[in-house]
């Protein structure tokens, strides 16, 4: 059986009791290590779980899935996922591959950033489409996520922005030489995300008036860092202010709230206001 087990958001102890019991009985244990990051080190997980853990990078999960799957009917494999097993499409693909090979699959759910962002006080039922903000390069600066933010603003609903993570990304030179060399890990910050959004906002020359009215550089945004950990940090401020803030170590995410707030949302979110008050 393949057991896909959510680890939650922070450290080794966030795993569920059910998940921990399964991990300790499995023949092989993998940790998916490229769609998110825990505050705990691999050694911390191994010590607490009492099991050696193999790292599953993007290359292994997306190109060599069969290496992860159980080899026979008696073998049990645990595939550990930060957050919840269905937080990334990669995990759905692995599950489908297992079922196509008549391998039984067991899912153990856990906390996800998709629900944990409610810690800032914004009500989850008011969130619209989630967007991913990718790192830009000199020749690649996609901006399709921006229009999704604008669309949610028109509907007066919140937008969760998941920020890019680069782990074990091959260098351009290594791709050309077909020799494996990797760039240092990078984790997008709320400052970097806000800066990219500001750049799109300022460079859009033909923007409909209705779009300008719903979003600008003075609009309130919410930055969240290390959600679920002891040093969790939340700040609400203008987009312009967020571009210059340092919320510390990763992981980060950002919310573009709706135009108007429910009174309870406003009271709760005001506790995290950078300047003591929220106003656009």
Instruction: Establish whether 211 is an annotated binding residue.
Output: no
User: Residue 207 annotated as binding?
Assistant: no
CA pair distance 126, 155, nearest whole angstrom = 10
Q: Determine whether the annotation assigns residue 262 to a binding site.
A: no
Instruction: Establish whether 84 is an annotated binding residue.
Output: yes
- 248 annotated to a ligand binding site: no
Question: Has 228 been labeled as part of a binding site?
Answer: no
Q: Would the annotation count 266 as a binding residue? A: no
Q: Quick one: how far is CA 264 from the chain centroid?
A: 26
Question: Nearest Cα to 2, choosing from 83, 84, 65, 82?
Answer: 65
Q: Would the annotation count 154 as a binding residue?
A: no
- Residues of each annotated binding site: 9, 84, 87, 112-113, 163, 227, 252
- Residues of each annotated binding site for S-adenosyl-L-methionine: 9, 84, 87, 112-113, 163, 227, 252
């Amino acid at each position: 059986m393949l057991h896909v087990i959510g680890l939650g958001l922070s450290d080794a102890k966030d795993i569920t009791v059910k998940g921990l019991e399964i991990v300790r009985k499995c023949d092989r244990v993998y940790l998916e290590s490229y769609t998110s990051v825990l505050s705990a080190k691999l050694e911390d997980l191994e010590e607490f779980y009492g099991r050696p853990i193999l790292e599953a990078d993007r290359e292994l999960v997306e190109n060599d899935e069969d290496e992860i799957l159980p080899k026979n009917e008696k073998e049990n494999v645990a595939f550990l996922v930060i957050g919840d097993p269905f937080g990334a499409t990669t995990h759905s693909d692995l599950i489908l591959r297992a079922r196509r090979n008549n391998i039984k699959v067991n899912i153990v759910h856990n906390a996800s950033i998709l629900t944990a962002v409610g810690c800032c006080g914004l009500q989850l039922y008011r969130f619209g489409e989630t967007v991913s903000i990718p790192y830009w390069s000199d020749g690649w600066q996609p901006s399709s996520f921006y229009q999704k933010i604008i669309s949610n603003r028109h509907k007066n609903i919140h937008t969760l922005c998941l920020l890019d993570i680069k782990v074990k990304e091959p260098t351009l030179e290594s791709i050309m030489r077909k020799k494996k060399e990797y760039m240092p890990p990078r984790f997008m910050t709320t400052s970097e995300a806000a800066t990219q959004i500001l750049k799109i906002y300022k460079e859009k020359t033909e923007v409909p008036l209705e779009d300008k009215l719903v979003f600008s550089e003075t609009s309130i945004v919410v930055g969240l860092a290390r959600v679920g950990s002891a040093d969790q940090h939340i700040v609400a401020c203008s987009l312009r202010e967020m571009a210059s803030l340092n919320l510390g170590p990763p992981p980060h995410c950002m919310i573009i709230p709706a135009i108007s707030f429910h009174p309870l949302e406003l009271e709760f979110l005001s506790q995290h206001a950078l300047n003591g008050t929220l106003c656009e």
